[in-house]
Amino acid sequence: MRQIISEEKRRQIIAALKDNPNATQIAREVGGVNYGMVLRLAEGAGIDLTAGKAARGHPRVSPEKHAQIIAALKDNPNAKQVARKIGGVSHTKVGKIAKAAGITLAAAESGKRLSAEQRAQIIGALKANPNASEVARQIGGVSYAVVWKIAKAAGIELTRGRPARDHRPNKVLR
């Protein structure tokens, strides 16, 4: 339900907002109004709220920082690294800026990702021995589940081990 306030209280709130751009404090000082009402009045009066909850909510990136982010992304298309380098902006925001600018981001260099050589080694081992558990033990440093996913993506049918047993045609599912 929307709050109804007098014209005098509206003027009082707008005057207070011009001196202090913190909607939460103004709502407390004036009394009898909630934070949302103060936000609507500030928006209607064209007052930018730069303190309190409004500042923490969804900070906007300045045009200078925006240009700096785009330049950094052209040199290094990694959102996390650019966010750390620039500071004061999240990697998610950097990713959104990159998308809007049409910049393709590089895949994050995570310690969990397998190299093309490791994938090829796993696929070769799976062709020789289509048992995901044994291949995972043989390769080392990789789980059964990862080997199973690689086998599935490569179209290798696992004939021994847990996946083979789970896909038997006579198996009764409960």
Domain residue extents for the chain: 7-57, 63-101, 116-164
Residue written as token pair 């009045």: 41
Paired with 22 in beta bridges are 51
The arithmetic mean of pLDDT across residues 84-91, rounded, is 86
pLDDT digits (tens, 9 = 90+) for 127-140: 998 888 888 888 88
Q: What is the pLDDT of residue 117?
A: 86
pLDDT digits (tens, 9 = 90+) for 134-170: 888 888 888 888 888 899 888 888 876 555 555 555 5
Q: What is the pLDDT of residue 101?
A: 87
- Identify whether the C-beta of residue 136 lies closer than 8 Å to the C-beta of residue 147: yes
- Identify whether the C-beta of residue 119 lies closer than 8 Å to the C-beta of residue 150: yes
Averaged pLDDT of the chain: 79
